[in-house]
Amino acid sequence: MAPQYYTVTWDQLHRDARALAWRLIDTGPWKGIVAVTRGGLIPAAIIARELECRLIESVSVETYNEESIGHPVVTKAPTAAGDGEGFLIIDDLVDTGTTARVVRKLLPKAHFATVYAKPAGKDIVDTFVTEVSQNTWILFPWDTDAAPQFVAPIARAPGRGA
Ligand SMILES: O=P(O)(O)OC[C@H]1O[C@H](OP(=O)(O)OP(=O)(O)O)[C@H](O)[C@@H]1O
Ligand SMILES: Nc1nc2[nH]cnc2c(=O)[nH]1
Ligand SMILES: [Mg+2]
Protein backbone atom coordinates (compact mmCIF):
# COMPACT_ATOMS: atom_id res chain seq x y z
CA MET A 1 0.00 0.00 0.00
CA ALA A 2 1.38 3.44 -0.92
CA PRO A 3 2.39 5.47 2.15
CA GLN A 4 0.33 8.53 2.89
CA TYR A 5 1.18 11.68 4.81
CA TYR A 6 -0.73 13.12 7.75
CA THR A 7 0.25 16.74 8.25
CA VAL A 8 0.02 18.09 11.79
CA THR A 9 -0.01 21.89 12.21
CA TRP A 10 1.25 23.73 15.31
CA ASP A 11 -2.37 24.44 16.32
CA GLN A 12 -3.36 20.82 15.97
CA LEU A 13 -0.32 19.59 17.86
CA HIS A 14 -1.13 22.01 20.68
CA ARG A 15 -4.75 20.82 20.79
CA ASP A 16 -3.79 17.13 20.66
CA ALA A 17 -1.10 17.52 23.35
CA ARG A 18 -3.64 19.29 25.57
CA ALA A 19 -6.09 16.43 24.96
CA LEU A 20 -3.37 14.06 26.13
CA ALA A 21 -2.89 16.18 29.26
CA TRP A 22 -6.63 15.84 30.00
CA ARG A 23 -6.28 12.05 29.82
CA LEU A 24 -3.30 12.12 32.18
CA ILE A 25 -4.44 14.61 34.82
CA ASP A 26 -6.33 12.09 36.94
CA THR A 27 -3.74 9.32 36.57
CA GLY A 28 -1.08 11.31 38.46
CA PRO A 29 0.23 12.95 40.58
CA TRP A 30 3.48 12.88 38.65
CA LYS A 31 6.91 13.39 40.16
CA GLY A 32 8.20 14.51 36.79
CA ILE A 33 8.18 14.05 33.03
CA VAL A 34 10.75 12.24 30.91
CA ALA A 35 10.75 13.62 27.36
CA VAL A 36 11.92 11.27 24.62
CA THR A 37 14.05 13.54 22.48
CA ARG A 38 13.75 14.96 20.09
CA GLY A 39 10.14 14.38 19.05
CA GLY A 40 8.78 14.28 22.59
CA LEU A 41 10.26 17.63 23.62
CA ILE A 42 7.49 19.97 22.44
CA PRO A 43 4.60 17.70 23.50
CA ALA A 44 6.36 17.29 26.89
CA ALA A 45 6.61 21.08 27.30
CA ILE A 46 2.89 21.53 26.56
CA ILE A 47 1.90 18.72 28.92
CA ALA A 48 4.25 19.94 31.68
CA ARG A 49 2.55 23.33 31.50
CA GLU A 50 -0.95 21.81 31.73
CA LEU A 51 -0.05 19.44 34.57
CA GLU A 52 1.99 22.12 36.39
CA CYS A 53 4.96 19.81 36.43
CA ARG A 54 8.40 21.45 36.57
CA LEU A 55 10.77 18.51 36.78
CA ILE A 56 11.68 17.54 33.21
CA GLU A 57 14.21 14.81 32.44
CA SER A 58 15.13 13.54 28.99
CA VAL A 59 16.12 10.32 27.29
CA SER A 60 17.54 10.36 23.79
CA VAL A 61 17.02 7.45 21.42
CA GLU A 62 18.05 7.59 17.78
CA THR A 63 15.95 5.11 15.85
CA TYR A 64 15.20 6.71 12.46
CA ASN A 65 17.22 8.45 9.81
CA GLU A 66 14.70 10.48 7.79
CA GLU A 67 11.92 7.91 7.15
CA SER A 68 14.14 4.81 7.45
CA ILE A 69 14.17 2.76 10.63
CA GLY A 70 17.55 1.68 12.01
CA HIS A 71 18.91 0.08 15.15
CA PRO A 72 17.85 2.12 18.23
CA VAL A 73 20.78 3.76 20.02
CA VAL A 74 20.40 5.43 23.44
CA THR A 75 22.57 8.54 23.21
CA LYS A 76 21.45 9.96 26.57
CA ALA A 77 20.03 7.88 29.41
CA PRO A 78 17.75 9.41 32.07
CA THR A 79 19.44 9.93 35.44
CA ALA A 80 16.81 11.69 37.57
CA ALA A 81 13.90 9.28 37.20
CA GLY A 82 15.10 6.11 38.96
CA ASP A 83 13.11 3.10 37.76
CA GLY A 84 10.41 5.45 36.47
CA GLU A 85 7.98 5.12 39.38
CA GLY A 86 5.72 8.18 39.47
CA PHE A 87 7.18 9.53 36.20
CA LEU A 88 5.46 10.19 32.93
CA ILE A 89 7.29 9.41 29.68
CA ILE A 90 6.19 11.58 26.75
CA ASP A 91 6.95 10.99 23.08
CA ASP A 92 5.31 12.46 19.99
CA LEU A 93 4.33 9.09 18.57
CA VAL A 94 4.70 5.36 18.72
CA ASP A 95 5.10 3.63 15.35
CA THR A 96 6.67 0.14 15.43
CA GLY A 97 7.22 0.44 19.19
CA THR A 98 11.01 0.04 18.86
CA THR A 99 11.83 3.29 20.68
CA ALA A 100 9.18 2.72 23.37
CA ARG A 101 10.51 -0.79 24.12
CA VAL A 102 14.02 0.58 24.66
CA VAL A 103 12.78 3.40 26.91
CA ARG A 104 10.53 1.06 28.90
CA LYS A 105 13.54 -1.12 29.72
CA LEU A 106 15.26 1.95 31.18
CA LEU A 107 12.18 3.13 33.13
CA PRO A 108 10.02 0.02 33.72
CA LYS A 109 7.65 1.64 36.25
CA ALA A 110 6.89 4.83 34.33
CA HIS A 111 3.65 5.64 32.53
CA PHE A 112 4.28 5.94 28.77
CA ALA A 113 2.13 8.40 26.81
CA THR A 114 2.27 9.55 23.19
CA VAL A 115 0.17 12.00 21.23
CA TYR A 116 -0.12 9.78 18.15
CA ALA A 117 -0.01 6.00 17.75
CA LYS A 118 0.09 3.46 14.95
CA PRO A 119 -1.43 -0.04 15.30
CA ALA A 120 1.91 -1.91 15.60
CA GLY A 121 2.98 0.10 18.64
CA LYS A 122 -0.18 1.28 20.35
CA ASP A 123 -0.30 -1.59 22.87
CA ILE A 124 3.21 -0.78 24.10
CA VAL A 125 2.15 2.64 25.41
CA ASP A 126 -0.29 3.29 28.27
CA THR A 127 -2.08 6.35 26.86
CA PHE A 128 -2.34 8.06 23.47
CA VAL A 129 -4.77 10.42 21.75
CA THR A 130 -5.01 9.82 18.01
CA GLU A 131 -4.45 6.62 16.04
CA VAL A 132 -3.33 6.73 12.40
CA SER A 133 -2.90 3.79 10.04
CA GLN A 134 0.41 1.94 9.86
CA ASN A 135 1.18 3.16 6.33
CA THR A 136 0.77 6.81 7.34
CA TRP A 137 3.84 9.00 7.88
CA ILE A 138 3.08 11.82 10.32
CA LEU A 139 4.61 15.14 9.28
CA PHE A 140 5.19 17.40 12.26
CA PRO A 141 5.23 21.20 12.01
CA TRP A 142 8.99 21.29 12.69
CA ASP A 143 9.53 19.05 9.63
CA THR A 144 7.47 21.09 7.21
CA ASP A 145 7.43 24.46 5.51
CA ALA A 146 4.03 25.99 6.08
CA ALA A 147 4.40 28.76 3.51
CA PRO A 148 1.00 29.37 1.87
CA GLN A 149 0.93 28.41 -1.78
CA PHE A 150 -1.51 28.61 -4.67
CA VAL A 151 -3.77 25.61 -5.16
CA ALA A 152 -5.57 25.04 -8.47
CA PRO A 153 -9.39 24.77 -8.47
CA ILE A 154 -10.71 21.21 -8.32
CA ALA A 155 -12.31 21.80 -11.74
CA ARG A 156 -8.80 21.99 -13.21
CA ALA A 157 -7.61 18.72 -11.61
CA PRO A 158 -5.81 16.29 -13.95
CA GLY A 159 -8.27 14.13 -15.86
CA ARG A 160 -11.12 16.63 -15.66
CA GLY A 161 -10.51 17.82 -19.22
CA ALA A 162 -10.17 21.55 -18.49
O1 LIG B 1 7.85 3.37 17.42
P2 LIG B 1 9.07 3.64 16.60
O3 LIG B 1 9.06 2.85 15.31
O4 LIG B 1 10.35 3.47 17.34
O5 LIG B 1 8.99 5.15 16.12
C6 LIG B 1 8.70 6.21 16.98
C7 LIG B 1 9.90 7.09 17.23
O8 LIG B 1 10.40 7.60 15.99
C9 LIG B 1 10.57 9.01 16.07
O10 LIG B 1 11.82 9.36 16.61
P11 LIG B 1 13.16 9.43 15.73
O12 LIG B 1 13.94 8.16 15.90
O13 LIG B 1 12.80 9.79 14.32
O14 LIG B 1 14.03 10.55 16.39
P15 LIG B 1 13.69 12.06 16.75
O16 LIG B 1 12.59 12.03 17.76
O17 LIG B 1 14.97 12.56 17.32
O18 LIG B 1 13.30 12.78 15.50
C19 LIG B 1 9.47 9.44 17.02
O20 LIG B 1 9.78 10.70 17.61
C21 LIG B 1 9.47 8.32 18.04
O22 LIG B 1 10.42 8.58 19.05
N1 LIG C 1 7.94 12.32 11.83
C2 LIG C 1 7.72 11.00 11.99
N3 LIG C 1 8.66 10.25 12.59
C4 LIG C 1 8.39 8.92 12.72
N5 LIG C 1 9.14 7.96 13.26
C6 LIG C 1 8.45 6.80 13.13
N7 LIG C 1 7.28 7.00 12.52
C8 LIG C 1 7.22 8.33 12.26
C9 LIG C 1 6.23 9.15 11.62
O10 LIG C 1 5.16 8.70 11.19
N11 LIG C 1 6.54 10.48 11.52
MG1 LIG D 1 11.69 10.32 18.62
Which pLDDT tens digit goes with each residue over 40-84? 999 999 999 999 999 999 999 998 888 888 899 999 999 999 999
Which ligand is located closest to the Cα atom of residue 95? 1
Strand ranges in 67-142 using DSSP code E only, listed in sequence order: 68-76, 87-94, 111-117, 127-131, 136-139
- Is beta strand 111-117 parallel, antiparallel or unpaired with respect to 127-131? parallel
Inside any domain, residue 53: yes
> Which pLDDT tens digit goes with each residue over 132-159?
999 999 999 999 986 778 888 999 988 8
Inside any domain, residue 162: no
Inside any domain, residue 12: yes
pTM of the model: 0.91
Inside any domain, residue 132: yes
Helix (H) or strand (E) holding 34: strand 32-37
Inside any domain, residue 138: yes
Residue 106: give its domain's CATH number: 3.40.50.2020
> Ligand 2 atom 7: the closest Cα is on which residue?
95
Domain of residue 24, residue span: 4-156
Inside any domain, residue 98: yes
Inside any domain, residue 161: no
41-51 helix and 10-24 helix, angle to the nearest 10 degrees? 50
- Sequence-ordered list of residues with C-beta below 8 angstroms from that of 60, at least 6 positions apart, any chain: 36, 37, 38, 74, 75, 76
Number of domains in the chain: 1
- C-alpha 63 to ligand 3 mean position (Å): 7
DSSP state letter for 96: S
